[in-house]
Amino acid sequence: MRSVIVIPARIGSTRFPEKPFAMIAGKSMLQRVWEIAAATIADRVIIATDSEKIQQHAQSFGAECLMTSVECQSGTDRVAEVARSCHFTDEIVINLQGDTPLTPPWVIDSLIKEMFACADIELATPMIKLEGDRLIEVVRKKTAGSTSGTLVVFDKDKRALYFSKGLIPFSRSGDTSVPRYLHLGIYAYRVDALQRLNSLPVSRLESIEKLEQLRALENGMGIQMVEVDLLGRTLVSVDSPEDAVDAEAVIQREGEVVESKVL
């Protein structure tokens, strides 16, 4: 059994045009994400795009890049298309979004190891336990109506019960110390589960919360939550030029997540 990381990347973004090329501390965001993937235990890393400009850029730093259809509406569509075109059968496929340039490689490794260890898991995704000041801040923001960040609740076996942009679990007593977990949007799939999910229509709860993983839950697919430790690292999802500046500040403060890939 092999593991493959697929990084979907698109050039069009209403909020941040040509986002993959955004420079962060001397390197493009796409190169940073690829270097993170290359530092994991995965056997193969593929960038998936419908842009020849992105393909040329990916090849300039030594990445494998496959062209996908312009009809792909989401990153999951691109990942599923790559799995089909490469004739994957028993591979573990990881969807690593191209706008997450600070993801620690050990987070991805944890997903791969979980999938290898438990053959009955259809898909897995990471979460972190919120504690201390970070928990207080998330509760404050969610109570004020923030939609930033997704929380998850799960059963005794750490199988997901629900994901929400709201504050879950809700404490009727107002106890702000109730344990809460923040979902990190990276997914590891069995090939069959990936293709099944990709073939399903948008589900009711998914359309309400705008969370694609709810489609899996609504169709009876199990999602294994994997608790990870960021070891003090700060995550930044880059959706705007301001986010790119924030990511650069994190690197200056905390250092590089991985050393540069030597070609």
Q: Examine the pLDDT at 259 and tell me if it is beyond 80.
A: no
Contacts of 59 (CB under 8 A, 6+ apart): 65
- What was the pLDDT predicted at 46? 97
pLDDT band at 102 (very low <50, low <70, confident <90, very high): very high
pLDDT band of 260, cuts 50, 70, 90: low
Mean pLDDT throughout 51-74? Answer: 91
CATH of domain 105-229: 3.90.550.10
pLDDT for res 74: 87
d(CA 55, CA 32): 15
Domain boundaries, the chain: 1-101+249-258, 105-229
CA distances from 149 to 9, 67, 182, 218, 223 (A): 21, 30, 7, 21, 18
Q: What is the pLDDT of residues 213-229, one digit of tens each?
A: 999 999 999 999 999 99
Query: pLDDT value at position 182?
Result: 97
Indicate if 105-229 has the same CATH topology as 1-101+249-258. yes
The structure tokens listed for 84 are 């089909």
pLDDT band at 85 (very low <50, low <70, confident <90, very high): very high
Q: What are the Cα distances from residue 25, in Å, to 28, 32, 140, 249?
A: 8, 10, 32, 9
Say yes or no to pLDDT of 123 above 90.
yes
Q: Model confidence over 143-188: pLDDT tens digits? A: 999 998 999 999 999 999 999 999 999 998 888 889 999 999 999 9
pTM of model > 0.85: yes
C-alpha 160/C-alpha 249 separation (Å) is 33
Render pLDDT for 1-43 as a digit per residue (tens, 0 to 9): 899 999 999 887 667 888 999 999 999 999 999 999 999 999 9
pLDDT at 70: 79
What pLDDT score does 6 carry? 97
| Confidence at residue 176, expressed as pLDDT on a 0 to 100 scale | 80
Query: Residue 13 has what pLDDT?
Result: 67
Confidence of residue 263 (pLDDT cuts 50, 70, 90): very low
Has residue 103 got a pLDDT over 50? Answer: yes
Task: Return mean pLDDT, the chain.
Answer: 93
* Type of residue found at 30: L
Over range 98-125, report the average pLDDT.
Answer: 96
Write down the CATH superfamily of domain 1-101+249-258.
Spore Coat Polysaccharide Biosynthesis Protein SpsA; Chain A (3.90.550.10)
Which secondary structure element, helix H or strand E, spans residue 95, and what is its range? strand 92-95
